[in-house]
Amino acid sequence: MTILVVNAGSSTLKFATFERAAGALKLRFKDQVEGTGDDALQALFVRLAQKGIEVGQLTGAGHRIVHGGTEFSQPVIVDDTIEAKLNALRPLAPLHQPYGLDALRAMRERAPNVPQVACFDTAFHATQPEIATRFPLPRSYFERGYRRYGFHGLNYEHVVRALPLETGQPLPRRLLIAHLGNGASLCAVLDGRSIATSMGYSTLDGLVMGTRPGALDPGLILAIMKDDRLSPEQMEQVLYKESGLLALSGLTSDVRSLLESPMPEARAAIEAYCYWAARQAASLIAAMGGIDAMVFTGGVGENAEPVRARVINHLSWIKAFSMHIVLANEELIIAQHTSALLT
């Protein structure tokens, strides 16, 4: 069994292959190619061929799809009907969804006999109760899909599976997971299930991020659009590409560079990043009724000790809880889902 995992982003296409041996999935290799679209897919096929892997001989391919909407709360084998439904969800995540779906379409065309499995970043959060997902707007909006979804769910699911294996202990009942990177979010996991998360309808909400602002007063957005006469597309550019750490520092969105910089603006940006992570964490701890353990994951969460220390220091008023680091591994969880569906 050889499974290909495809994670198509806005600037790179990441991929990995797994083989089943002795009842377990083992990573064979992982790589990435720059770019998007057909050129990136063609480069992927070349890399696979160099490793002796023919696309048509794959057991299956698993794809990271950012948004599953309200219908898709589990991984699914994609046929024409499913693909049409997924394409209808493009407006829910217009800056993320197209890349994954375009790669899925290209793979189905290149290898029509290889099963393609869609795995959703929103699916892990489908267990959230309505009180956590409904905005205080007329119910008709909620029924039309305007609700809190949450993201980074594939890695949150990986952390929930991996933590007991790493500690040799049962999963803590009240677990707070901090996925910190250029994109960042928190998830409150109670008895192994997501009950609240910092991201909402879009990937803009919650924590300060690399180029995204996190939680904002919606009145502020309306005022800026009116005062500066910005179109929705122009405002979208500000919110997704020109805010967050980049805006606070005026220097860069890269946490490592900001930590190394002597500039006061860099220090202020890092302080804001940590302050809002801790402030949002306290909200999710309230949703769980306390905390037993916290996990840091993601590029910043795993590697930036000063960030972890600042966040924990902001939460020092809480009674003792254990702290862990779990390396992000969306590829493995996608491979596991794909293998399970195909066998």
Q: Give the model's pLDDT for residue 35.
A: 81
Q: Which residues pair with 195 in a beta bridge?
A: none
> Beta-carbon neighbour count of residue 101 at 10 Å?
22
% residues pLDDT > 90 (the chain) = 90
Per the CB < 8 A criterion, the answer to whether 156 and 189 are in contact is: yes
- How far is the CA of 5 from the CAs of 56, 57, 292, 318, in angstroms? 14, 14, 33, 40
User: Residue 21: pLDDT band by 50, 70, 90 thresholds?
Assistant: confident
Order of strands across the sheet with 116-120? Answer: 24-34, 12-21, 2-8, 60-65, 116-120, 76-77
Which one, of 285, 282, 280, lies nearest residue 172 by Cα? 285
Q: Give the model's pLDDT for residue 223.
A: 98
User: Residue 257: pLDDT band by 50, 70, 90 thresholds?
Assistant: very high
Q: Is the pLDDT of residue 10 over 80?
A: no
Q: Among 62, 95, 120, which residue terminates a domain?
A: 120
Residues 4-11 have a mean pLDDT of 89
- How far is the CA of 111 from the CAs of 9, 13, 17, 56, 187, in angstroms? 21, 18, 16, 5, 36
Q: Does the annotation count 121 as an active-site position?
A: yes
| C-alpha to C-alpha distance for 275 and 151, rounded to whole angstroms | 21
Residue 147 resides in a domain: no
Residue 165 resides in a domain: no
Question: CATH no. for residue 7?
Answer: 3.30.420.40
User: Residue 66: pLDDT band by 50, 70, 90 thresholds?
Assistant: very high
Q: Is the pLDDT of residue 316 over 80?
A: yes
Residue 90 resides in a domain: yes
Q: Give the model's pLDDT for residue 1.
A: 87
Q: Is the pLDDT of residue 280 over 80?
A: yes
Residues 208 and 291 in one domain: yes
Residues 223 and 95 in one domain: no
Please tell me which residue in 39, 121, 254, 292 is annotated as part of the active site.
121
> Beta-carbon neighbour count of residue 300 at 10 Å?
24
If one counts the domains in the chain, the total is 2
The end-to-end CA distance of the chain, in Å, is 10
Q: Give the model's pLDDT for residue 202.
A: 93
Residues 106 and 228 in one domain: no
| C-alpha to C-alpha distance for 231 and 234, rounded to whole angstroms | 5
Residue 30 resides in a domain: yes
Tokens of residue 203, six digits = 């990937």
Per-residue model confidence as pLDDT tens digits over 105-157:
999 999 999 999 999 999 999 999 999 999 999 999 999 999 999 999 999 99
| C-alpha to C-alpha distance for 5 and 12, rounded to whole angstroms | 14
Per the CB < 8 A criterion, the answer to whether 265 and 295 are in contact is: no
Residue 125 resides in a domain: no
- Amino acid found at 187: C
Q: Give the model's pLDDT for residue 91.
A: 87
Residue 299 resides in a domain: yes
Give the relative orientation of helices 264-288 and 305-314 as an angle to the nearest 10 degrees.
Answer: 50
Residue 274 resides in a domain: yes
Residue 84 resides in a domain: yes
Q: What domain range is 285 assigned to? A: 170-325
SS3 19: strand
**DSSP result, 118-133:** EEETTGGGGGS-HHHH
Per-residue model confidence as pLDDT tens digits over 226-250:
999 999 999 999 999 999 999 999 9
% residues pLDDT > 70 (the chain) = 100
Q: Is the pLDDT of residue 92 over 90?
A: no
Q: What is the mean pLDDT of the chain?
A: 95
